[in-house]
Chains A and B, each alone.
Chain A
Amino acid sequence: MNLKRAVPWIAFGLALAGAAVSLIPSAKPRGFDVEAFGHLPVLEGGRVKPLDTIARNALLMIRGKQSVSSEGRSIGPDEWLLDVMFRPEVADRQELFVIDDPEVLGLLGIQQSRNRYYSFATLAPRIDEIQRQYVAAEPVDAKVRSHFQSAVVNLFERMFLYHRLKNTVQLEGTPGLAAEIAARAGPGAPQRHEMLAQLAHFKPLLPVTPTGDAWRSVGEALAGTTTVEPGLEQWARLGLAYQAQDAASFNRSVADLGATAALGRPDAVAQSGHEWLFNAAQPFYSGMVIYVLALLAVFVSWAWRPVLLQRLAFGLLVAGTVVHTLGLASRILIQGRPPVTNLYSSAVFVGWAAVLLGVVLERMYRRGFATAVAAASGFASLIVAHHLSVDGDTMEMMRAVLDSNFWLATHVVTITIGYSGTFLAGALAIGWVVRRHLARRADPAASKAIVAMTYGIICFALFFSFVGTVLGGIWADQSWGRFWGWDPKENGALLIVLWNAIILHSRWAGYARERGIMAMAIFGNVITSFSWFGVNMLGVGLHSYGFMDKAFWALSAFVASQLVLMVFALLPARFWSARRAEAPAPDKGGSEGASQPV
């Protein structure tokens, strides 16, 4: 008995401990203090961030992964960035550029094979051709580019990013920053400084004034000075040390750079320290793993030790929620913004709200069912978020009209909770369908509980999607004087509101019974996914090849799967596995649905 009570707590504690393991400082690879290097604050994309973020995002954009193999071992983003900047001859041989498009490979004279990754050295001989194709394709509006054009533009942009990284601290093919400093008044120096300033991907040198935000690139700092500031000189030593693979000297330079930054901009150091911690913890990845474990525990519980394992699953679910919440909270703190600022963060938030609702439902109904649905929803949304994160920095700056924390916190958050609710209702309905068709024993009470949960969540979703939609209208009225402009995104939100209203009214009127409500709840997934993603794809143009990209296929497959599930939901009772108990009274399941309007 005591064990049963302790199980959820043990599971909860173990899961959290597992998630925290990633925060233990890792051993220095080959003696280089790469972690301290990753902590250094720099300016890029309009905000101060740690070099670790730069390295991760760049590697993710170029390779689609956060690691690459080099000289026989797997290296992380920070070490990779060091190679790119100070040992380009090594970095050029790493299999870095992921290329999937057969036409682009054909352009390079490479036959498509199982290998998807190509080193810069492989691509370099064909760089003129790639650039020629890029120049031809780039002016074409992104909405109407062909598949090949999009792929070649994408490849060239990644190669250009790589090129900029190489030329941020020192120009490629020159002896290095130390020599550059020595020759700062020599012939050709202004041109080289200009090039460094133009190519710099990030700005590593602190602003001259202690409170300003005018961070400087190496080129800008070199131009027109006679005295050499400590930051420049420390970067020069760092470069030399890494080039010579002198770990001790490298670590000293990194420590000096950290000290310089801490002295000049303690705020930036603290900020980038938080972000480094967030990067290292990878809370959304840990959350994903914990959700899967919770889901597995529920599955096993259906066959073996149901009570014990359901408690265990619930403990895991709560641990996943805590990790997910911490990740979300860190993003809010780092960015200084409400939780939803772009498509990526909306996916993280949708999952979070759905999981939270699932935890509440599980506490209310205690059947393990809500745990399974919540864990599945949390996992699915984090997977979606992961696929949305490969475009670069997920904490980009908000464009002027969106730069309003008040409206981001009210409209955007409410509407996203509305998405969340509608998806959760759909997920519950899917769970109901699966249960109906797979469970051997019929359990009318459980079935009734699921219907009640779904109904409650639809009410919740209607409230939030309505309020969110109208708040969006009010924001629009505040910012361009048009409460309702029938803009696709607004229309998508309206569709969700209408659909939830239809479900509720059908139930109140008794037109739709249990099966009908469940099928309609699943269709809510279709409507929500259209409003969330489909609408964004419309802008990509129905008449373009670009429209037929991966996201479109993923969405189509999702919609198709939901339609199939709806058919299964609507199949009459004689098709169910668990038909025996409920077959005699086909009306029984609907007795609740047929109640008078409430």
Chain B
Amino acid sequence: MTLRTTNPVVRAFVSLKLTIAFLAALMVLVMACTLAQVKLGTWPAVEIYMRAWFVWWDVPGTEWRIPVFPGGALVGLVLLVNLFLAQLVRLELAWKKVGLWISHAGLILLVLGEFVTGAFQVESQLAVEEGQTVNFVESPRELELAVIDVTDAAMDDVYSVPAARLERGGSIPIPGTPVAIQVRRFFRNSDLAPRGPADPPSPVTAGVGTGVAVRERPPVSRDDQTNQAAAYVEPVAGGRSYGTWLVSNGLGAPQSFTHEGRTYQLQLRSRREYLPFAVTLKHFRHDVYPGTQIPKNFSSLVTIANPSRGEQRDVLIYMNQPLRYEGKAFYQASFGKGDTLSILQVVENPGWLIPYVSCVLVAIGLIVHFAITLRRSSRRRQADSEA
């Protein structure tokens, strides 16, 4: 059944001109995104060009931002609507069009899958040394201020404040404790150096930070660079200040203060998400080709211990062979500390299966369609040569 319409809005949305214009716009965006990666690094470029509704231009010297080009999300949406409507309105439901129907359905699925990924995919890392057991994953880009009540030797109470909240400043009450954190200053990126005699006086009054000079640095975004954030924070509890502390992901050991018999640790660190299971690294392997330093294989033999399922088993994670467990996939990503530290990339994406299905659909659809076309054209050529 084919719908015919005279509604001009619908007609505009189903037109092939729109398809071609927006495919071209997508090419421009992809090109711009690729070139921008040279300076910005992958993720910021993708945020600006692909995951945005519009590409914005900051008018120099003003506060104005003008949308100059549709962003990837908008282009994707328009193409999706265009394809969907065109399918219903323009493309007849006939056997000779079956290939196009299948491949277009696959394409719709592919674009939807990219929206699902954009909305729901969470990437984090799990770094574990041989013999160590870890029950959390860390965000590679986001930081948190952890306030940890370590009074009970058997169990820690962890409260975490996202770095974005620290950046807004002000007083942050820590729920479930009498403590509130006053943020005096936040640096998105900084240099830490031992204080010299020429350095200006530091606002820090407690902890290792008293001997450290903090210099602000412009934030970086390239994939191979990390920000060393820092903050001056002042814990206040029961109307009493415990001094101003320097926290930074560049400082090693956590610092602590004690209020009414309870000891609290302060640490600025990668944002953690705790897992309902624990991962122990039994052995990490780094094989090279004989007589060279060229890596041949990396693999991590880990034990998964999940008390809620009563499960304890060994798993070998290696290149192109991830572990999929509890909705997360664990990939061998990196290593360090003389091949005793293994870093696993952890990805949670509910839509991970969609591209597989869509690829199969599009491929089958194109084969069917081109086969039909080829048969018709060879028949035509045969008829020509016979005539």
Residues of A within 8 A of B (CB): 43-47, 203, 213-215, 396-397, 399-401, 403-404, 407, 452, 456, 459-460, 462-463, 466-467, 470-471, 473-475, 477-488, 491-492, 494-495, 498-499, 501-502, 505-506, 508-509, 511, 535, 538, 541-542, 597-598
Contact = CB atoms under 8 A, between A and B. Distances in A.
B296 A474 contact: no
B123 interface: yes
A400 B296 contact: yes
A481 B359 contact: no
Nearest to B21: A502
A598 B373 contact: yes
11 contacts: A46-B288, A404-B319, A463-B367, A470-B359, A473-B355, A474-B355, A483-B355, A486-B50, A488-B37, A538-B35, A597-B16
A566 to B, nearest CB: 16
Nearest to A406: B320
Contacts of B345: 480-481
Contacts of A491: 30-31, 33-34
A505 B16 contact: yes
A126 to B, nearest CB: 30
Given A466-B363, A478-B322, A487-B42, 8 more contacts: A44-B291, A400-B287, A459-B370, A491-B33, A498-B30, A499-B27, A505-B19, A542-B38
B291 A46 contact: yes
Contacts of A460: 370
B20 interface: yes
Nearest to A214: B290
A45 B290 CA distance: 8
B123 A482 contact: yes
Nearest to B91: A597
Contact of A215 (B19, B23, B37, B291): B291
A467 B358 CA distance: 10
Given A45-B292, A491-B34, A477 B17 contact: no
Interface residues of B, number: 62
A460 B369 CA distance: 11
Contacts of B277: none
Contacts of B297: 400, 403
A535 B34 contact: yes
B130 interface: no
A53 B175 CA distance: 70
A511 B20 contact: yes
Contact of B31 (A203, A399, A407, A495): A495
B319 A46 contact: no
Interface in B278-299: 287-292, 294-298
Contact of B294 (A46, A478, A483): A46
Nearest to B373: A598
B27 A397 contact: no
Select the residue from A456, A466, A474, A535 with max chain B CB neighbours within 10 A.
Answer: A466
Nearest to A400: B295
B151 interface: no
Nearest to B292: A46
Interface of B: 16-17, 19-20, 23-24, 26-27, 30-31, 33-35, 37-39, 42, 45-46, 50, 110, 113-114, 117, 121, 123, 287-292, 294-298, 319-322, 329, 331, 333, 345-347, 349, 352, 355-356, 358-359, 362-363, 366-367, 370, 373-374, 376-377
A215 B322 CA distance: 33
Chain B interface helix/strand/loop/mixed:
helix
B290 A400 contact: no
A508 B23 CA distance: 15
B104 to A, nearest CB: 11
Given A400-B319, A403-B319, A498-B30, A456 B374 contact: yes
B355 A463 contact: no
Contacts of B362: 466-467, 470
Contacts of A482: 121, 123, 347
B20 A502 contact: yes
A364 to B, nearest CB: 8
A471 B345 CA distance: 21
Contacts of A452: 377
B297 to A, nearest CB: 5
Given A46-B291, A501-B23, A511 B17 contact: yes
A203 B291 contact: yes
B321 to A, nearest CB: 8
A482 B114 CA distance: 11
Select the residue from B287, B319, B358 with max chain A CB neighbours within 10 A.
Answer: B319
Contacts of A400: 287, 295-298, 319
A498 B27 contact: yes
Nearest to B346: A481
Select the residue from A470, A492, A499 with max chain B CB neighbours within 10 A.
Answer: A470
A401 B319 CA distance: 6
Given A481-B345, A483-B352, A498 B23 contact: yes
A479 B117 CA distance: 17
Contacts of B117: 483-484
Nearest to A460: B370
A486 B33 contact: yes
B363 A467 contact: yes
B373 A459 contact: yes
Given A459-B370, A466-B366, A598-B373, A477 B295 contact: no
A547 to B, nearest CB: 10
Given A46-B289, A483-B117, A492 B319 contact: no
Nearest to B25: A498
Contact of B123 (A481, A505, A541): A481
B290 A43 contact: yes
A498 B355 contact: no
Given A470-B355, A473-B355, A478-B320, A509 B37 contact: no
Nearest to A216: B291
Contact of A505 (B20, B27, B121, B374): B20
A480 B23 contact: no
A466 B367 CA distance: 12
B105 to A, nearest CB: 14
B322 A481 contact: yes
Contacts of B288: 46
Contacts of B347: 480-482
A535 B38 CA distance: 10
Given A214-B290, A467-B363, A474 B356 contact: yes
Contacts of B376: 598
B366 A463 contact: yes
A474 B121 CA distance: 16
B23 to A, nearest CB: 5
A452 B381 CA distance: 11
Contacts of A404: 319-320
Contacts of B333: 480
B22 to A, nearest CB: 10
Contact of B331 (A47, A466, A481, A486): A481
A278 to B, nearest CB: 21
Given A466-B362, A484-B114, A498-B23, A509 B17 contact: yes
Contact of A463 (B17, B30, B294, B370): B370
Contacts of A542: 35, 38-39
B172 to A, nearest CB: 33
A319 B42 CA distance: 46
B221 to A, nearest CB: 14
Given A466-B363, A491-B30, A480 B290 contact: no
Contacts of A474: 355-356, 359
Given A46-B292, A481-B349, A485-B42, A492 B377 contact: no
B153 to A, nearest CB: 37
Contacts of A396: 294
Contacts of A511: 16-17, 20
Nearest to A538: B38
A397 B359 contact: no
Contacts of B45: 486
Contact of A397 (B31, B294, B320, B352): B294
B26 A498 contact: yes
